[in-house]
Amino acid sequence: MVSNKNAMCEMSLYFFNLEQPKLSTMRTFVTFYFSLLLFSVSAQVCTIDYSQTQVGIYPDTLPTGYVGQPYSTDVTFFMPLDTMGYDFTNFHILSVSLPVGLNWQCNNNTSNCDYNPQVSQYGCVNISGTPLLAGVYSVYVTVLADLTVVQGYPFQFQIYMEVLPSNATSSNDGFTMTGGSGCSPITVDFSNNNPGLLAYSWDFGNGNISTLENPAPQVYNAPGDYIVHYEAYSNLDTIQVNTLTGVTVTSMSGYGEGFPSYEDPDVWVKVTENVSIIFTSSIFGNATLPVSVPMNIVMNPLNTYAIQLYEADDSYGDLVYGADDFMGNHTVMMSGCTGCAVSGGDSGSGGTINYTVLNQTIYPSPSVISTDTVHVFDYPPAPIIAYDSLNHTLSTPNLGFGYQWYFNGSPIIAASNPDYIVTMSGDYYVVAINQTGCVSFSDTLRAVYCSPNVQPTISSNATGLVAGGVPSGYSMQWLLDGNALTGETANTTSVLSSGAYAIEIADTFGCVYTSAALNVGLGFSELSTAVWSISPVPADDHLIVRADAQMKVQKVNLLDLSGRVIRTWDWQNGEQMMLNTSDIPAGCFVIQLQGGKSAWSRKLMIE
C-alpha cells in the first residue's frame, strides 16, 4: 500500500487507467471440455503446480490438439497481489473464446470463477474436450479485475492454441493411413509397411494411382467412402505362354489311288516337337471337310513344332499304307495361321489348314495385397437463429443435431439446447454438430438485453451530486428537470440551480437507465453541510457515525468509489451509531447518510 493513504483516496479513476499496461504481465488461463456424444459439459479436476512462484501461467503455451482426439491438460496460474501499491481483491474470468468442440472449467466454479489473490495466489484449470476443426487459434480471455480503488475493470488477454488435423491411424499388412476419416475435405497420409520390395501399386479410390514406395498425401474433397487398394511385389518375372488350341483341315488333294478307293478323305493329324510326335488325333474317316481337331498343347518358344496331315486309307480297307497317304506338314508359327499349306508330302499330295495359337503373358503375382477405406463425412446444414427480444430467447429449429451456443466467441457452459435465454447483451451464434463430429456455424446475431438489475443512484456531498451504481463502460448524462445538462457526462456534477436532478446511463448496446430524481432546493447547501461526523479516521474494525437529530437519518450506505452500494445499515434511534466494518476489505470508500429526499456523503478510509 502507498504510505499516504488519504492521498490515495483522492486519486482519480483516470490515474488508475494509466496503470493498465502494467497489468499486461498477467497471464490468462482457460479450460475446455466438450462431449461429442452427449453434447454436455462436465466439471473436471485439476492439480495445482505449487512449484511456480512467479506471476504467470504454467505452462504458458497450450499443448497441441488434434481433430477428433480427446484433449486434456492442467494449467496452473499464479496471480499478482497488487499494482502501483493498490491491492487486487478479485479476478473474475468472464469469457473465453475457444476452438469449437472445447470448453473451459475453472477449479472454483462454485464461486463463479472468482479468485481473491489476497487469500491465495494459486488457481488452476483443466483443459479438456475434443477439438473439431484444425487451425491456429487466437484465444481471447476477458477478465474483470477488482482493486481497492475500482471494481469490475475489464482486461482482455490473448494466447494461442494450435489444432492439427486428425492423427488417428489405421494399419494393415500393406500400409498405414493417418487421418483416414474426417469432415470434408481431408488429407490422408500413407506409409508403406513393406519397404524395399521390387514394385508397388496404389489405387487411392479418389481417381489417383501411384507406383511409388511412399506416395504423396491424398486429398479427398467430397463426402463418401473411398476404398484404397495396395499391392507389393517381391518378384517381377513375366512368363509368355503360347498354346496351340486347335487345327482345322480345310482341303486335301492327291489321295485315293490305292484299293479300295473312297471319294472322301480319312483325316488324320499329328503334331511333332523337335521331330518327336507329341499328339495324334483320332481318324475322321470318310470326312466332309473342313474338319476341326481340338487340342491344348503348351509350346516352348525355343523348340520347333510341326503339324502333319495324313489320309489314313490303310485303316479303312487299304491293305498297305500307300505312297499317297502323307499329305505333308507345316511348321507352326507362334502367331497362328489361316489358309496355310502343308508341304513335303507324297507325290501329288497336299492340303491346307488353319490353326490357332493362344498367346498369354503371365505377370508376377503380388506378395502382399491390402485394402482399407477412407471415410469422408458431410456437414450438417448451417443453423438459422432468431432472437425473441420480448422473451429474451435465442432459438434455432431442432433438426436432431447437437448444439452449442457461443457468447462473444466463448462457449456458454451447458448451453446445448436449440434455444437459449439471454441474460447479457452481446454477439451470439450457435454451432450444430452431427453424429460424425462435423460442425456448421450460424450467422452471428447481436442480442440486446437490458438488465433490470442496473439501477443508477445519485447522492449529494459537499461539492455537488455523485452518481452511483454505474457499471464499468457505461456512458453518463446528467439531467435537470428531464433535460440534459450540456457537458455533464462525468460521475459527478455541481448544483448550480434548484430542480430535479437525475443521472441517465447507457451501455454500448443502447440500453438506457435513469435514476430516481433528487429534488434540490434552496436548502441544499444547509443540508449538505449538516452537522455529522465519523470516527475513527481511518476506520478499522468499527466506525462510529454521529448525526444531528434534525437530519432525520434513516439509512447509512457504504459505497465503493464507482458508486456501488456494498453495505447498508438501518439507522437506530439516537444521534450516534456504531457500524461493524471488520469484514470490509481495506480501501477507499464513501459513507453516505440518507434521510427523506436528502443525502450526505464523505470519503472514508478503512484499514
Cell numbers linked to 462:
459537499
111 backbone φψ class: left, alpha, beta (φ>0; ψ -120 to 50): alpha
SS (H, E, C) 138-206: EEEEEEEEEECCCCCEEEEEEEEEEEECCCCEEECCCEEEECCEEECCEEEEEEECCCCCCEEEEECCC
Buried/exposed code over 190-224 (b: 16+ C-beta within 10 A; e: otherwise): bebebeebeebebbbbbeeebeeeebeebebeeee
What per-residue confidence (pLDDT) applies to 563?
63
What per-residue confidence (pLDDT) applies to 526?
39
- More confident position, 431 or 533: 431
- At 7, the pLDDT band (50, 70, 90 cuts) reads very low
Edge to edge, the sheet with strand 186-192 lists 169-171, 175-178, 186-192, 218-220
Q: In sequence order, what are the beta bridge partners of 603?
A: 590
What per-residue confidence (pLDDT) applies to 479?
94
Q: How far is CA 232 from the centre of its chain?
A: 36
326-380 pLDDT per residue, tens? 899 999 999 999 999 999 988 778 999 999 999 999 889 999 999 999 999 999 9
Architecture per CATH, 169-236+367-377: Sandwich (2.60)
Cell numbers linked to 66:
488434434
HSE-CB at 20 with a 13 A cutoff on CA atoms is 12
d(CA 489, CA 500): 17
What per-residue confidence (pLDDT) applies to 120?
93
d(CA 444, CA 395): 13
Count other Cβ atoms within 10 Å, centred on residue 467. Answer: 23
**453-466 mean pLDDT:** 86
Most confident of 43-52, 62-71, 230-239, 587-596: 230-239
d(CA 460, CA 80): 36
Listed in sequence order, the residues at least 6 apart from 247 whose beta carbon sits closer than 8 Å to its beta carbon are 269, 271, 292, 293, 295, 307, 353, 354, 355
**117-138 mean pLDDT:** 87
522-565 pLDDT per residue, tens? 444 434 446 788 888 888 888 889 888 888 888 888 877 656 77
Q: What is the percentage of the chain residues whose pLDDT exceeds 70?
A: 87
pTM: 0.57
Domain map (residue ranges) of the chain? 5-164, 169-236+367-377, 240-362, 386-442, 457-524, 530-606
Given a cut of 50, is residue 3 above it in pLDDT?
no
CA geometry: angle 506, 511, 514, nearest 5 deg: 60
What per-residue confidence (pLDDT) applies to 160?
85
Pairing of strands 542-547, 555-559: unpaired
- The residue written with cell numbers 509368355 in the block is 240
The secondary structure of residue 539, as a DSSP letter, is B
What per-residue confidence (pLDDT) applies to 566?
84
d(CA 243, CA 298): 4
Amino acid (1-letter code) at residue 214: N
What per-residue confidence (pLDDT) applies to 273?
97
**489-510 mean pLDDT:** 90
Given a cut of 80, is residue 284 above it in pLDDT?
yes
Count other Cβ atoms within 10 Å, centred on residue 335. Answer: 9
**Average pLDDT of the chain?**
84
Pairing of strands 175-178, 542-547: unpaired
d(CA 503, CA 511): 14
Cell numbers linked to 91:
479476478
d(CA 315, CA 380): 86
Q: In sequence order, what are the beta bridge partners of 505?
A: 476, 513
Sign of CA dihedral 166, 169, 170, 174: positive
CATH topology of domain 5-164: Immunoglobulin-like (2.60.40)
Domain 240-362 CATH assignment equals 1.10.3720.10: no
The yes-or-no answer to whether 240-362 and 530-606 have a common fold is: yes
**Top-tier CATH class for 530-606:** mainly beta
144-189 pLDDT per residue, tens? 888 876 677 777 777 788 998 888 899 999 999 999 999 999 999 9
d(CA 122, CA 190): 46
Rg (CA), the chain: 49
- The residue written with cell numbers 499328339 in the block is 279
Count other Cβ atoms within 10 Å, centred on residue 425. Answer: 19
Given a cut of 90, is residue 34 above it in pLDDT?
no
**108-132 mean pLDDT:** 88
- At 385, the pLDDT band (50, 70, 90 cuts) reads very high
Given a cut of 60, is residue 111 above it in pLDDT?
yes
DSSP 562-594: TS-EEEEEEPPSSSEEEEE-TTSPSEEEEEEEE
Look at residue 243 and give its three-state secondary structure: strand
CA geometry: angle 24, 28, 29, nearest 5 deg: 170
* C-alpha distances in Å from residue 508, one per residue of 5, 140, 475, 486: 35, 20, 8, 20
**380-390 mean pLDDT:** 96
Count other Cβ atoms within 10 Å, centred on residue 407. Answer: 22
579-603 pLDDT per residue, tens? 999 888 888 788 888 877 677 777 7
Cell numbers linked to 344:
513335303
Buried/exposed code over 101-131 (b: 16+ C-beta within 10 A; e: otherwise): bbbbbbbeeeeebebebeeebbbbbbbbbbb
CA geometry: angle 248, 253, 255, nearest 5 deg: 115
